[in-house]
Amino acid sequence: MEHIEDIKETIEVYENDIDLYIKLFCEENNIENINSISQSVYNAMLRYVYKHCFKGTDKLKSKRLYSTSDRIKSNYNAYDIDICDSICDHYIYLCQLYDKEISLVGFSNLTGIDNETILVWGSGDRKTLSSKSIGIYQKLVSGRENSLSDKLSSGKGNPVGVLAILNHFYNWAGVGNMEERKPQQISLSDVRSQAAKLSDNSRQAVVQIAENSNNKLSNN
């Protein structure tokens, strides 16, 4: 029980530190509203937090030692998955709060955990020391899809560009694969089905683009 309480206190400290350096980043760069900054500036902010919170430290590494084949105690340079999982939850919360895309890259920018390691977690490799590791990967992947679809629902940004990403990575049918499907016509039923999830303005724009594209193909 004492160990669990220590982890909770540690996680709370890290979350407070993350929030503190986000505030400092905004003050240094005269940012009044994080929601208004671009995704690239947001990623720069995450890297700023990493530099001041985690870079050059072993804060996210496991303190638990395991016996190796030659009887040497080691943590295998592994991460503390409980702490990483909680920081992942906080990262997702921040992205939702500031209306930014959730991604493996963003989480990597914040923590310094490289993409390859996160992909290994997602593969369910038996070398991973906790079943929570695959959960982190799954939260980031599903979170990305949700954060992108939220942008469509809110009508913010370029709906065609967002749909292109969703179609490429999550098999959303529609505008995103117009170039790939030429010279075949786009299924308007598919477009309308996905467009039903959007705001009125975005829905009309997406359907109109698909109809115009089909009309051009019909005239060729």
Q: Helix or strand or coil: residue 212? A: helix
Range of the structural domain that residue 15 is part of: 2-143
Residues 40 and 138 in one domain: yes
Residues 16 and 83 in one domain: yes
Residues 61 and 134 in one domain: yes
Q: Which residue has the tokens 């995103």?
A: 176
Asked if residue 29 belongs to a domain, the reply is yes
Confidence of residue 186 (pLDDT cuts 50, 70, 90): very low
For residue 156, the model assigns a pLDDT of 63
Of all residues in the chain, what percent carry a pLDDT higher than 90?
40
Asked if residue 178 belongs to a domain, the reply is yes
At 26-69, the pLDDT tens digits run 999 999 999 999 999 999 999 999 999 999 998 998 876 544 44
Q: Looking at residues 73-99, what average pLDDT do you find?
A: 85
Residues 137 and 176 in one domain: no
Residues 61 and 113 in one domain: yes
Of all residues in the chain, what percent carry a pLDDT higher than 70?
55
pLDDT at 98 over 50: yes
0.75 surpassed by pTM? no
Residues 159, 175: Cα–Cα separation, whole Å: 9
Asked if residue 151 belongs to a domain, the reply is no
Strands 73-74 and 66-67: antiparallel
Nearest-CA neighbor of 49 among 129, 2, 97, 107? 107
At 99-151, the pLDDT tens digits run 998 999 999 999 999 999 998 888 876 555 567 889 999 999 888 877 777 66
Q: Two tokens at 196?
A: 């039903």
Residues 119 and 179 in one domain: no
Asked if residue 85 belongs to a domain, the reply is yes
Longest dimension (CA), the chain: 74
Asked if residue 148 belongs to a domain, the reply is no
Q: How far apart are the first and last CA of the chain?
A: 71
Report how many domains make up the chain: 2
> Looking at 143, 172, 192, which one is the last position of a domain?
143
Q: Helix or strand or coil: residue 134? A: helix
73 forms beta bridges with 67
